[in-house]
Amino acid sequence: MKRSLSYLIMAGALIGLATGPVAARVTDKDIENDAATPGDVVTNGLGTKNQRYSPSAKIDTKNVKDLVPAWTFSFGGEKQRGQQSQPLVHNGKMFVTGSYSRVFALDAKSGKKLWEYNHRLPEGILPCCDVINRGGALYDTLFIFGTLDGRLVALDQDTGKVVWNEKVGEYADGVSITNAPFIAKGLVITGMAGGEFGVVGNVSARDAKTGKLVWVRPTVEGHMGYKDGKENGISGTTNATWPGELWKTGSSTPWMGGAYDPETNLAYFGTGNPGPWNSHLRPGDNLFSCSTVAIDVDTGKIVWYFQHTPNDGWDYDSMNTIIAYTGKDGKKLVAKADKNGFFYVLDAKTGKFVRGFPFVKKITWASGLDENGRPKFIDSNRPGDPLKGDGKKGSSVFSAPSFLGGNNQQQFSYNPDTGLFYVPSTEWGMDIWNEPVGYKKGAAYLGAGFTIKKLDPKDIGGDYIGAMRAIDPVSGKVVWEVRDPAPLWGGALTTKGGLVFWGTPDGQLKAADAKSGKVLWSYQTGSGIIAPPISWEQDGEQYIAIVSGWGGAVPLWGGDIAKLTSGITQGGTTMVFKLHKSGK
């Protein structure tokens, strides 16, 4: 799994001159109000609660058919691979990241490049699942993003010059940052990746203006947290749910970023799989892996946690998008469509389980959830222990979903007008088996083998793999779905205009009626889409933007499914749409 990436060495330099409008400061108030202000997009998630809901209604179910390209921008070069970025828009500028830790500042109305930054990547970086980046954060006059060598970099919005550059973790150990950081109360808060290399996951917060570390909270039981350079309490209790010394390489990396609710003052993060994959080596629940954790932004301490897959044996990371919202009864809630195939609703203040239900058709590892949300395991579907066989390979089982999940990095959205969640879902399974493994710094730490496979159409009611699903969080019913022959790997956007936008692996950006699911418009972008759309208003017009460029985990680890998508053209393009004049 470890790959030589010497060809990634790039000139870490500023390219081009800034000629756009001078930066206006992005304040904490701007960030907290982002979900209600259609004139910009200053957060990843179109608001701190991650709802990916646009309050704009200039584009609606009646005129969406009149959407046409306003401009396109190519990232250029040979780095046309794995584009998962969500753009940000502020003060007439768009900021978008590209694969290989690049940043582009563009004129939001014309697409003209204002400046470009290429981060200098060292030889020997260890990205698990492609050289992707999911975007950045805006604060004051800075654009802040994470890099594949485990750093946070702050760039001046006007010039692209580096203002500060801080190390989050050691890239030689396997640490990388692919998630978009977010801002809460002047802090830039981020997770990190590297769970497949046995690094210890953590969430860290820095002063957004200076990069100075304020607090760090480990997401593996037994590790000490720090605040202002002083010890700030151990996460959990050492050895309570981890045997022996395995907690020291426990993984559980929060690699997808998080959400923040100013009303609870909590940052919500999903955590990744425990290490290694071979669960027979680590009996116990293995906290805080495969969990949702709520961290107090002021103290850096875990207020509550909910574990979705205790003693995970299938790589069911629970790092998926977390959405904070208010239920019909006025209760503050958080929701997650988990890798493991279940949709969860939790109390946002306490983490108490409210309800859960399957959102995919085939789940083999558990028969359901109990009254507390704990899975009812099907023991026969856990990959076998190698030590009970020939010592080289445990018994193989067929499990669904696959380790790439019923939902993975593809962000889902929530529309408060319909009360529905829009979840890019995938139906697939895998053959999986365990193998002996030991930890070696900078080497893959799996202890498992796998092959992803397509499901029998009879098991899921048709011949498809992906499905955009509208889910009622109260009844648990799928209100409507739009199926796709390939796995959906890009995020969703929903709008006040009654629409849902999403992209497909064959390059289509689609728009459907949020209530009925009827597809009303589509456009071919030229490459597979694995990124989420955004919307904003400028000079009286509403715009829709998407980054197009196939890559990510599916072509790397997708087994039989990767073969089905092998003909998809790679790319790297930002595309922006608006209504044709005749459609106004």
Q: Please report which helix (H) or strand (E) contains residue 555, including its range.
A: helix 553-557
What is the pLDDT at residue 390?
85
Sheet of 136-139: strand order equals: 136-139, 142-146, 151-156, 162-167
What is the pLDDT at residue 13?
38
Beta bridge partners of 397: 432
What is the pLDDT at residue 582?
59
For the record, the structure tokens of 286 come out as 């293995």
For the record, the structure tokens of 408 come out as 């993975």
Amino acid 232 reads: N
3-state secondary structure (DSSP) of residue 471: strand
Strand 492-495, strand 53-54: pairing: parallel
What is the pLDDT at residue 34?
98
Q: What is the CA radius of gyration of the chain?
A: 22
pLDDT averaged per 10 residues, the chain (length 584) = 37 42 83 97 98 98 98 88 96 97 97 97 91 97 98 98 98 96 98 95 98 98 98 97 95 96 97 96 97 98 98 97 95 98 98 98 98 98 92 94 97 98 98 94 93 97 98 98 97 98 97 98 97 97 97 91 90 97 56
Cα–Cα distance list, 259 to 51, 91, 182, 264, 411 (Å): 9, 24, 8, 11, 12
Amino acid 551 reads: G
The distance from CA 125 to its chain's CA centroid, rounded to whole angstroms, is 20
What is the pLDDT at residue 276?
96
Beta bridge partners of 115: 105
What is the pLDDT at residue 76?
87
What is the pLDDT at residue 583?
43
Residue with token string 């209600």: 36
533 upstream amide cis, omega within 30 of 0: no
Sheet of 353-358: strand order equals: 323-326, 332-337, 342-347, 353-358
Q: Tens digit of pLDDT for each residue in 167-219?
A: 999 999 999 999 999 999 999 999 999 999 999 999 999 999 999 999 999 99
Neighbours of 451 (CB within 10 A): 17
For the record, the structure tokens of 306 come out as 């909910």
Distance CA 203, CA 357 (A): 28
Ordered DSSP codes for 133-189: ---EEEEBTEEEEE-TTSEEEEEETTT--EEEEEE-S-GGGT-B--SPPEEETTEEE
Domain 6-583 is found in CATH 3.20.20.80: no
Beta bridge partners of 578: 68
Distance CA 352, CA 463 (A): 37
Phi, psi of 560 (to 5 degrees): -65, -30
Amino acid 472 reads: D
DSSP designation for 510: E
Identify the CA nearest to 223 among candidates 195, 252, 194, 197: 252
Beta bridge partners of 202: 218
For the record, the structure tokens of 502 come out as 């999403």
Identify the CA nearest to 488 among candidates 472, 473, 510: 510
Q: Please report which helix (H) or strand (E) contains residue 458, including its range.
A: helix 457-460
Distance CA 281, CA 478 (A): 38
Q: For the purposes of burial, counting CB atoms within 10 Å of the CB of 328, is it exposed (0-12), middle (13-18) or buried (19 or more)?
A: exposed
Cα–Cα distance list, 338 to 270, 272, 311, 401, 571 (Å): 10, 11, 15, 10, 29
Residue with token string 């720090």: 226
For the record, the structure tokens of 541 come out as 């017009």
What is the pLDDT at residue 22?
55
pTM equals 0.95
3-state secondary structure (DSSP) of residue 206: strand
Please give the positions annotated as active site: 315
Sheet of 448-453: strand order equals: 397-399, 429-434, 448-453
For the record, the structure tokens of 360 come out as 């995919």
What is the pLDDT at residue 134?
97
What is the pLDDT at residue 303?
98
Q: How many CA atoms lie within 13 A of 399 on its CB side?
A: 33
Please report, in angstroms and rounded to a whole number, the separation of the first and last CA atoms in the chain: 52
| Helix spans in 396-479 (H) | 457-460
Distance CA 411, CA 532 (A): 7
For the record, the structure tokens of 424 come out as 């890019």
What's the sign of the alpha-carbon dihedral 78, 9, 151, 90? negative
